[in-house]
């Protein structure tokens, strides 16, 4: 027969291995849950979802596809020129944005920026850039510098700083204090510590985040043309407005191809270097 003390210890060990049980939600959790449910119910009511509207929508999509097939290939050459412009906008905007994000992230990180005011101010800028949607930035830059690719490039730069600045800063703050302290003990300057230990440690993460930023920028560059900030989006907007659905389908296919190519190339680079 098993010793009672051994039996108790076995039970305790099993209890330690068991997953934690759900706890009764607090009053605050219930209030948040009720507010969340209230927004969902209100949103569904405002959406005016009816069977008649959904059925009509399916028929309209069928009508669109009927008019769009086969895709119009008559303007493929001019459209490819717009696709190239879209890709160039994304590439230039991401490159400049990433280059600017590195010093901004260093100023926003606890372990590389000794002044609280500087850190808070820089983090506030990054948060502001990230919070405002890219279409709104595009409208602002179209008003500022006029229609065309320059407004799109500036928009992607700002969007990339908001995206990369945050993730670069978080990675810098996660760096183990050992290597920087080892360099400091040899008399290295602050810049020497940053470029001798922190940047090399963070570089794989920086490359991965930058590749995601490129993919994000290509998708954004397609949309920016809808508000006149250059790229293929303006061609898509014109085709849809004039109800040239076959030409719109050709543009959508070209956009799909460039997005897939960029994602595949990015995936290969990520596997090779990270």
Say whether pLDDT at 32 is over 90. Answer: yes
pLDDT of residue 98: 93
Instruction: Tell me what the mean pLDDT of segment 200-223 comes to.
Output: 86
Helix (H) or strand (E) holding 89: helix 76-108
Do residues 89 and 230 make contact, with C-beta atoms less than 8 angstroms apart? yes
pLDDT of residue 232: 82
Tokens coding 173: 């703050």
Q: How confident is the model at residue 37 (pLDDT cuts 50, 70, 90)?
A: very high
Q: Which of 223, 209, 216, 272 is nearest to 252 (CA)?
A: 223
Tokens coding 226: 């809808």
Separation of alpha carbons 207 and 195, rounded Å: 16
Separation of alpha carbons 162 and 100, rounded Å: 10
* Environment class of 187 (CB within 10 Å of its CB; exposed 0-12, middle 13-18, buried 19+): exposed
Say whether pLDDT at 26 is over 60. Answer: yes
Determine which of 1-15, 156-170, 257-271 has the lowest per-residue pLDDT on average. 1-15
pLDDT of residue 72: 82
pLDDT of residue 76: 83
pTM: 0.77
Contacting residues for 216 by C-beta, under 8 A, at least 6 apart: 159, 163
DSSP string, 56-80: HHHHHHHHHHHHHPSPP-TTHHHHH
Say whether pLDDT at 209 is over 70. Answer: yes
Residue 65 half-sphere exposure toward CB, CA atoms < 13 A: 6
Cβ-based neighbour number of residue 102 at 10 Å:
18
Separation of alpha carbons 166 and 41, rounded Å: 34
> Using N-to-C axis directions, what is the helix angle for 116-131 and 76-108, rounded to 10°?
160
Tokens coding 84: 């190239």
Q: What angle do CA 221, 222, 225 make, to 5 degrees?
A: 85
Say whether pLDDT at 6 is over 70. Answer: no
Tokens coding 252: 């959508």
Instruction: Tell me what the mean pLDDT of segment 197-216 comes to.
Output: 86
- Tell me the pLDDT tens digit for each residue of 54-106: 888 888 888 888 888 888 888 888 888 888 888 888 899 999 999 999 999 99
- Tell me the pLDDT tens digit for each residue of 122-179: 999 999 888 888 888 888 988 988 888 888 899 999 999 999 999 999 888 888 878 7
pLDDT of residue 3: 60
Q: What angle do CA 95, 98, 131 make, to 5 degrees?
A: 115
Say whether pLDDT at 255 is over 80. Answer: yes
- Tell me the pLDDT tens digit for each residue of 222-254: 888 778 777 788 888 888 888 888 888 888 898
Do residues 217 and 186 make contact, with C-beta atoms less than 8 angstroms apart? no
Do residues 164 and 209 make contact, with C-beta atoms less than 8 angstroms apart? yes
Q: What angle do CA 104, 100, 127 make, to 5 degrees?
A: 50
């Amino acid at each position: 027969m098993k010793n009672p003390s051994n039996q108790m210890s076995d039970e305790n060990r099993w209890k330690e291995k068991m997953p934690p049980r759900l706890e009764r939600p607090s009053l605050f959790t219930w209030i948040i849950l009720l507010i969340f449910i209230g927004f969902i119910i209100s949103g569904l009511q405002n959406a005016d979802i009816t069977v008649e509207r959904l059925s009509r929508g399916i028929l309209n999509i069928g009508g669109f596809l009927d008019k769009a097939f086969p895709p119009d290939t008559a303007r493929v050459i001019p459209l490819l020129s717009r696709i190239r412009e879209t890709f160039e906008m994304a590439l230039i905007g991401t490159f400049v944005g990433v280059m600017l994000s590195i010093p901004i992230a260093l100023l926003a990180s606890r372990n590389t920026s000794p002044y609280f005011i500087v850190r808070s101010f820089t983090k506030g800028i990054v948060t502001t850039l990230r919070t405002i949607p890219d279409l709104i930035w595009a409208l602002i830059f179209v008003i500022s510098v006029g229609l065309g690719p320059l407004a799109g490039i500036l928009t992607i730069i700002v969007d990339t700083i908001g995206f990369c600045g945050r993730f670069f800063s978080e990675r810098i703050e996660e760096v183990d204090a050992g290597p920087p302290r080892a360099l400091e003990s040899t008399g290295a300057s602050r810049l020497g510590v940053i470029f001798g230990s922190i940047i090399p440690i963070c570089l794989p993460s920086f490359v991965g985040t930058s590749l995601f930023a490129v993919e994000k920028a290509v998708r954004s560059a397609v949309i920016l043309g809808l508000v006149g900030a250059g790229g293929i989006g303006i061609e898509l907007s014109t085709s849809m407005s004039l109800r040239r659905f076959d030409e719109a389908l050709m543009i959508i296919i070209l956009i799909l191809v460039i997005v897939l190519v960029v994602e595949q190339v990015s995936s290969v680079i990520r596997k090779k270097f990270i």
